[in-house]
Amino acid sequence: MRPLTFSKYDIALFIDEKGKTRWSHLLKEFVENGSGRHISRQKLSDYLKELCAEGLVKKTVDKKALMLRMVWRVYPIYVVPKSRKKRIEAIRKRKKIFEFVDSASPEKIKKLDEAIRRLEE
């Protein structure tokens, strides 16, 4: 069973997958996606501020757009710094494990429980 809302780490994983992401891309993916699973603009903004404060996401300006600022309006972009790639991978692995547990059959859960007990010994 998947959660009905997104977490801030879902946003960080999305930004990491895309490489660099604009606010409009985040809106389409997390706010205006047309599914039952979405968040508000304010929540998205709060999550981005938290991610920037943690250092998982960096808010910057696209260099190409900055050079052409006479023609285009310069908007910020969000990227995951190279120094945080290991932390993002750890989050991705943890999320994958939780999704497996949430969707696993009772037999798989039993096998997983047995494996955990063996590891704890």
pLDDT higher at 74 or 116:
116
* pLDDT computed for residue 50 by the predictor: 93
Domains of the chain: 8-120 (1.10.10.10)
CA angle 92, 14, 109 (to 5 degrees): 35
* pLDDT computed for residue 1 by the predictor: 47
Residue 115 has pLDDT above 60, yes or no: yes
In the chain, where do the E strands start and end? 20-22, 58-61, 76-79
pLDDT in tens, 43-66: 999 999 999 999 999 988 877 666
pLDDT in tens, 3-21: 567 888 999 999 999 988 8
In 3-90, where do the E strands start and end? 20-22, 58-61, 76-79
Encoded tokens for 37 = 């699973």
Please name the residues in contact with 114: beta carbons below 8 A apart, sequence gap of 6 or more. none
Q: What is the value of pTM for the model shown?
A: 0.76
pLDDT in tens, 23-39: 888 988 888 877 777 88
- Identity at 114, one-letter amino acid code: E
